[in-house]
A and B are shown apart, each in its own frame.
Chain A
Amino acid sequence: MGSERTDGTARWETTYDSELPSVDLAEAAVLAIAQSAGFDEDELHKIGIALREAMVNAVVHGNKYHSQKKVFLSAWYDEGALQIVIRDEGGGFDLSAIPDPLAEENLLRESGRGILLMQAFMDEFQVRRLSAGTEVTMVKHLAPL
Chain B
Amino acid sequence: MSMKLNTRQVGDVTVIDAAGRITLGEGTSTLRDAIREIVSGGQKKVLLNLGEVNYIDSSGIGELVSAFTSVTNQGGQLKLLNLNKRIQDLLQITKLYTVFEAHDDEATAIRSFA
Interface of A is mostly: helix
Interface residues of A in 77-111 (CB under 8 A from B): 101-102, 107-111
Interface residues of A in 44-74 (CB under 8 A from B): 45, 48-49, 52-53, 56, 60
The 9 closest A-B pairs by CB, nearest first: A110-B62, A113-B58, A114-B58, A120-B93, A110-B66, A102-B95, A20-B25, A111-B62, A52-B57
Q: List 25 A-B contacts (CB under 8 A).
A: A49-B55, A49-B57, A53-B57, A56-B24, A56-B58, A56-B59, A101-B94, A102-B94, A102-B95, A107-B65, A107-B94, A107-B95, A107-B96, A107-B98, A108-B65, A108-B68, A108-B99, A109-B62, A110-B63, A111-B59, A114-B58, A116-B93, A116-B94, A117-B58, A117-B90
Give B contacts to A, CB under 8 Å.
23-25, 55, 57-59, 61-63, 65-66, 68-69, 86, 90, 93-96, 98-99
